[in-house]
Amino acid sequence: MSDADEIAELHTRWVFGWERNPGDDPFDFPGTFGDLYDFAGQNVRLYDDFDPRRRVATTAAEYGANFTPAFDAMTSAHHLVESGPDVLTGTGLAASTLVFLARITTPQAVTDIRTTSSLVWRRTEVGWRIVREHNSTDVLEAGTLDGRVGSRGA
C-alpha cells in the first residue's frame, strides 16, 4: 500500500472513530485513537472549532480530555464522508483533507454539521500519527441530513 493510500485509509478510519450509538460505553479517546494520534510526540497542535471554548491542545491526551465530556453526553453521532480524503505525502510527513457530514444527537437537540478536516501526519517508529489537526465546522439547517446520516432524533 502506498503512503497516500495508507493515510487516506487512516483519515477515513479517524472520522468513524467519532461514532456514537445509544447505550455505548463511555467515550474512550485513547482506546479509540491510540494508534492514530502521536500521544508521545513533541510539537503537537490540535484544534477543532466545534469545541465551544476553541482550545488548541498541545497533546493528544489534552485534546481527548477536551472532547470526552461532549461525546459522553451524546445520544449518537453518525458520520458520512462527503469528499476526500485528498492526500499529499513527503518524507516523514503527510497531509490529508476530507469533508464529512455528521448528525450529532443529544437529549436536548439534533444538530447536522459539515466539517472540513485537515490532518498532518508524522511517520514514527510505529507508523503514521496525527501531529496537527484543524477542523472547521458549519452547522447546517435542521433536517439537512435526513435520510443520509443517522435518523432524526436517534
Residue 152, pLDDT > 70, answer: no
Query: 37, exposed or middle or buried, with CB in 10 Å at 0-12, 13-18, 19+?
Result: buried
- Please give the share of the chain, as a percent, with pLDDT higher than 90: 90
- In a domain? residue 97: yes
The average confidence (pLDDT) of the chain is: 94
- In a domain? residue 78: yes
pLDDT digits (tens, 9 = 90+) for 22-40: 999 999 999 999 999 999 9
pLDDT digits (tens, 9 = 90+) for 81-118: 999 999 999 999 999 999 999 999 999 999 999 999 99
- In a domain? residue 110: yes
- In a domain? residue 124: yes
Count of domains forming the chain: 1
- In a domain? residue 149: no
Residue 28 sits in a domain of what CATH number? 3.10.450.50
pLDDT the model gives residue 151: 52
- In a domain? residue 147: no
- In a domain? residue 153: no
